[in-house]
Amino acid sequence: MPMKKVLFFLLFLILPACGTYDRLSIVSTPPGWRSLVSDLLLDDGAFPEGWVRERDSPKDSLNDPTINHVYRSWWGQAKGHGGVEQSIWRAYKIADAEELYEDLRGRQFLEGYTPPPDESYAEFRPPHEINFQSKIADEFYIACGWRAWGYCQVLARYRNYVTYMKLDLDGQYKGYTTIGLTYLEIETILNAMDAKFAEFLSAFPLATSSP
């Protein structure tokens, strides 16, 4: 048997025995890969009184750790109006999460959109009323605007996770009124979202090489 094949065969036998093979497998897998993605969704307590959870999806998203895209929605039951949606995607590679973030950044915020003459539309821009900026997220963007009604959109990437939120806004535009959340309430929700991911990243840090 050629010497190279002998060495490879011996390495194949030795690695599992000494545990090196298992360590290599763990290092190559993103930290927290088989945790529940739904655990990162906002808790109901992050919302003002009178807001209730409406839907979780897909089926089994609350107990299946292999599901990598989850969704949750709430509505303002007390006011009878207003809604919030949150989605989270988990990618195996950070590069894939970066690509998804860029794709959503272009599509969700209607960049370059030209509204028809009869549509009530205000361009989505970062709101001066909200000072929040995540110190944890690798990428973060928020913009509020008006298309048929007023709402804010939030997009953030935390390592190999991307989350998107759409939050109906209390506001007026050209004689139209929408019922939803105030800017202060949205900022409180953003802090709660950020805290969720901060706790996760602390519990599952990236592997670092020893000096």
4 compared with 203, residue with greater pLDDT: 203
**Greater confidence, 105 or 118?**
105
pLDDT > 70 fraction of the chain, expressed in percent and rounded: 85
> How far is the CA of 164 from the CAs of 14, 89, 123, 187, in angstroms?
46, 9, 18, 15
- Check whether residue 11 and residue 68 sit in a common domain: no
- Asked if residue 126 has a cis previous peptide bond (ω within 30° of 0), the answer is no
Q: Are residues 165 and 183 in the same domain?
A: yes
122-134 mean pLDDT? 92
What band does 171 get if pLDDT is binned at 50, 70 and 90?
confident
Asked if pLDDT for residue 180 goes beyond 60, the answer is: yes
- Based on the domain organization, do 116 and 13 belong to the same domain? no
- Asked if 65 and 145 sit in the same domain, the reply is yes
**CA-CA distance, 140 to 101, in Å (whole number)?**
9
Residue 197 lies in a domain: yes
Instruction: Report yes or no on 166 lying in a domain.
Output: yes
pLDDT score, position 200:
97
Output the domain CATH number for residue 124: 3.40.1000.70
Structural domain for 6, as ranges: 1-30
Same domain, 131 and 198: yes
Q: Are residues 179 and 91 in the same domain?
A: yes
Are residues 46 and 21 part of one domain? no
The more confident residue out of 140 and 18 is 140
**How much is the average pLDDT of 19-29?**
46
Residues 15 and 38 in one domain: no
Share the mean pLDDT of the chain: 86
Residue 211 lies in a domain: no
pLDDT at 16 over 90: no
Question: Is 61 found in the same domain as 7?
Answer: no
Look up residue 188 and give its two tokens.
């409180």
Residue 39 lies in a domain: yes
Task: Tell me, yes or no, whether 19 and 37 share the same domain.
Answer: no
200 neighbors 191 (Cβ within 8 angstroms): no
Residues 58 and 46 placed together within one structural domain of the fold: yes
Does residue 69 share a domain with residue 26?
no
Q: How many domains does the chain have?
A: 2
